[in-house]
């Protein structure tokens, strides 16, 4: 009986922690099995967003964590950044052999139920008055629902020397992004860890 109560309390704390803190994970990823692992020499990182702070943070963190990578905002002229044809010509002219594109793809809401301390009242109590007293003692703390904001971000790695072919792709999930720079850093970290596991870039990331 009490073991069940403790388990429920543990679940409640876990749900509350997930609802209140910013948490990021890679929910799925794909790697082209036909493309050999390469050690790219010159990689360009682009975060596709009109949020300049998020963009600069993401590109800088990618550049810091992935060898031979440059943040696009530092080198790509703003006038051609959003024009695919002009950007392609510029990237080719500069000799980049890999491109990492990251962008937010969806925002959603998730609802979780957090049990209150009322779960601590021993159910099935043999004493009517013991249950009665305990029940009133916890009556002010019922369970409640918590709604979390969820952001999905897609990350793609392209081999520019192989007809700009997609070699790796992932989708990450972040909860309650109240701090944009922190969330972006978590997304980059999660994706870099996944790239390491799958040996996406020779020589590691």
For residue 120, what is the enclosing H or E element? none
**Average pLDDT of the residues in 154-180:** 89
Average pLDDT of the chain is: 80
pTM over 0.75: no
3 or 145: whose pLDDT is higher?
A: 145
Kind and range of the H or E element at 45?
strand 43-47
pLDDT tens-digit readout, 40-58: 999 999 999 998 988 999 9
CATH of 2-198, one of 3.30.1360, 3.90.380, 3.30.160, 3.30.870: 3.30.160
Mean pLDDT over 68-96 rounds to 95
All structural domains of the chain with their residue ranges: 2-198
Give one DSSP letter per residue of 131-186, joined into a string: HHHHHHHTTT---EEEEEEEEEEEEEEEETTTTTEEEEEEEEEEE--SSHHHHHHH
Residue 178 pLDDT > 90, yes or no?
A: no
Residue 142: the pLDDT is 65
């Amino acid at each position: 009986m009490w073991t069940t109560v403790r388990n429920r309390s543990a679940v409640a704390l876990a749900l509350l922690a997930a609802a209140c803190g910013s948490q990021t994970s890679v929910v799925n990823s794909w790697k082209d099995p036909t493309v050999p692992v390469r050690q790219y020499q010159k990689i360009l990182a682009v975060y596709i967003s009109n949020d300049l702070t998020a963009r600069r943070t993401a590109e800088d963190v990618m550049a810091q964590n992935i060898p031979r990578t440059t943040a696009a905002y530092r080198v790509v002229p703003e006038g051609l950044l959003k024009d695919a044809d002009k950007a392609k010509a510029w990237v080719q002219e500069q000799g980049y052999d890999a491109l990492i594109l990251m962008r937010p793809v969806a925002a959603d809401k998730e609802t979780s139920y957090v049990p209150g301390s009322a779960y601590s009242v021993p159910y099935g109590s043999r004493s009517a008055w013991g249950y009665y007293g305990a029940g009133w003692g916890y009556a002010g703390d019922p369970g409640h629902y918590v709604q979390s904001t969820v952001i999905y971000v897609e990350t793609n790695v392209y081999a520019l020397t192989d007809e700009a072919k997609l070699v790796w792709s992932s989708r990450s999930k972040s909860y309650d992004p109240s701090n944009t720079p922190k969330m972006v850093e978590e997304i980059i970290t999660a994706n870099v860890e996944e790239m390491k596991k799958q040996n996406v870039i020779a020589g590691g990331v």
